[in-house]
């Protein structure tokens, strides 16, 4: 309760602890793009077999955040490259820097580079910094990658019920179900592993995961992907806008903006886009393919049981000839198409 009073009063400098959440991201040998958030919160702990009330408590904790604005954070990369930035009003920060050192020299076999982040802001006598340093990693795709994959999460690999009446299934699945208990759509992990391996079988093809979910659900979705053995990849969510948020709304939808940024970051790499027919993936993906006609190898859309949405999506893809668009009922259909087109073995 004290924290809530401080938050309402704007007294952010009275801090109990410092938690820096670092989000899996991506970059190049000379350009890094690392987002994160500074909070006065305890780390989220998600148990395998929690009670219903603990699940509710964890859900509440994901959104009951105590942001630390104007917090100075320092980034340390291999080779002792350092950069500093400050968090914004909601605690978010971003390192978006061009460097003169080849970061790829420090990547592991799959292209991941580890880094450290330190909190450099003022501390009260009783403020506890939870980790020294906080650690994260970002992806530099291997030059030998055959293609990249950009995939939606909601109702593409994880059933959410986004098309359900009044979205009640979406609320139940996302907020009232433990991450360990969420079941991926049948065959999805195996299909994504095949795409990651590609024809070469070398685990070189980078995977990017998109969702319109807020960053508050990052730990939940990361746990789901890792637990179900999806190939590791950057997870790109969006800021949670409240009814009181007076900042300018983004000009483009979140997914469209992120996909365009990935394509610009890797101009020599072609991509496969995977989504579903439930929301706006068909419109966004075909628009991207029209904008980058030689960069999108194929678009896979998982069918959802919603007649009106299916009709709308079908009308979009029937007249689209720039890139192959396949509506699939199962991962098996996507596997067959990908194999026939030489994307996988």
Q: For 88-137, how does the pLDDT look when each residue is reduced to its tens digit (9 = 90+)?
A: 999 999 999 888 888 899 999 889 999 999 999 888 888 999 999 999 99
pLDDT band at 10 (very low <50, low <70, confident <90, very high): very low
Q: Looking at the predicted structure, is the pLDDT value of residue 9 above 70?
A: no
Return the higher-pLDDT residue of 257 and 45. Answer: 257
pLDDT band at 298 (very low <50, low <70, confident <90, very high): very high
pLDDT band at 47 (very low <50, low <70, confident <90, very high): low
Model confidence pLDDT, tens digit, residues 146-203: 999 999 998 888 876 544 443 444 444 555 555 555 667 789 999 999 999 999 888 8
Return the higher-pLDDT residue of 83 and 251. Answer: 83
Residue 154, judged by CB atoms within 10 A of its CB (0-12, 13-18, 19+), counts as: buried
Return the higher-pLDDT residue of 196 and 319. Answer: 196
Share of the chain above pLDDT 70, in %: 79
Q: What pLDDT score does 6 carry? A: 56
Q: What pLDDT score does 212 carry? A: 87
Q: CA nearest 110: which of 141, 151, 131, 79?
A: 141
Mean pLDDT of 212-235: 92
Q: Looking at the predicted structure, is the pLDDT value of residue 66 above 80?
A: yes
Q: Are 269 and 148 in contact (CB under 8 A)?
A: yes
Mean pLDDT of 220-227: 91
Spell out a b/e string for 217-244, using b for 16 or more CB atoms within 10 Å of the CB, else e: bbbbbbbbbeebebbbbbbbbbbeeeee
Mean pLDDT of 54-78: 82
Supply the mean pLDDT for the chain: 83
Q: What pLDDT score does 20 carry? A: 97
Q: What pLDDT score does 321 carry? A: 83
Q: What pLDDT score does 99 carry? A: 84
Residues 147 and 48: their CA atoms lie apart, in Å, by 35
Q: What pLDDT score does 309 carry? A: 63
3-state secondary structure labels for all residues of the chain: CHHHHHHHHCCCCCCCEEEEEECCEEECCCEEEEEEEEECCCCCCCCCCCCHHHHHHHHHHHHCCCECCCCEEEEEECCCEEEEEECCCCCEEEEEEECCCCHHHHCCCCCEEEEEEEECCCCCCCCEECCCCEEEEEECCCCCCCCEEEEECECCCECCCCCCHHHHHHHHHHHCCCHHHCCECCCHHHHHHHHHHCCCCCCCCCEEEEEEEEHHHHHHHHHHHHHCCCCCCCEEEECCCCCCCCCCCCCCCHHHHHHHHHHHHCCCCCEEEEEECCCCHHHHHHHHHHHCCCCEEEEEEECCCCHHHHHHHHHHHHCCCCCCEEEECCHHHHHHHHHHCCCCC
Q: What pLDDT score does 13 carry? A: 62
pLDDT band at 51 (very low <50, low <70, confident <90, very high): low
């Amino acid at each position: 309760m004290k924290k809530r009073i401080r938050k309402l009063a704007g007294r952010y400098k009275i801090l109990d602890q410092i938690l820096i959440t670092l989000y899996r991201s991506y970059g190049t040998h000379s350009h890094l793009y690392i987002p994160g958030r500074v909070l006065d919160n305890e780390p989220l702990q998600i148990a395998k077999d929690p009670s219903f009330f603990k699940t509710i408590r964890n859900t509440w904790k994901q959104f009951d955040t105590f942001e630390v604005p104007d917090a100075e954070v320092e980034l340390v990369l291999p080779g002792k490259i350092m950069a500093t930035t400050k968090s914004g009003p909601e605690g978010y920060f971003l390192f978006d820097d061009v460097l003169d050192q080849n970061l790829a020299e420090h990547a592991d076999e799959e292209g991941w580079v580890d880094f450290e982040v330190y909190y450099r802001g003022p501390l009260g006598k009783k403020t506890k910094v939870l980790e020294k340093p906080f650690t994260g990693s970002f992806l530099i795709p291997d030059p030998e990658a055959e293609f990249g994959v950009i995939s939606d999460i909601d109702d593409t690999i994880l059933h959410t019920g986004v098309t359900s009446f009044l979205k009640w299934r979406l609320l139940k699945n996302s907020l009232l179900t433990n991450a360990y208990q969420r079941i991926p759509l049948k065959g999805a992990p195996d299909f994504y592993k095949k795409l990651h391996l590609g024809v070469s079988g070398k685990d070189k093809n980078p995977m990017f995961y998109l969702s319109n979910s807020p960053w508050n659900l990052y730990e939940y979705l990361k746990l789901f992907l890792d637990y179900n053995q999806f190939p590791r990849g950057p997870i790109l969510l969006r800021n949670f806008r409240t009814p009181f948020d007076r900042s300018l709304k983004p000009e483009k939808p979140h997914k469209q903006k992120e996909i365009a940024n990935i394509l610009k970051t890797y101009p020599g790499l072609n991509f496969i886009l995977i989504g579903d027919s439930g929301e706006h993936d068909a419109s966004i993906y075909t628009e991207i393919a029209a904008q980058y006609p030689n960069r999108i190898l194929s678009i896979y859309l998982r069918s959802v049981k919603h007649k009106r949405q299916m009709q709308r999506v079908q009308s979009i893809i029937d007249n689209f000839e720039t890139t192959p668009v396949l509506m699939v009922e199962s991962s098996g259909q996507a596997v067959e198409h990908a194999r026939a087109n030489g994307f996988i073995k």
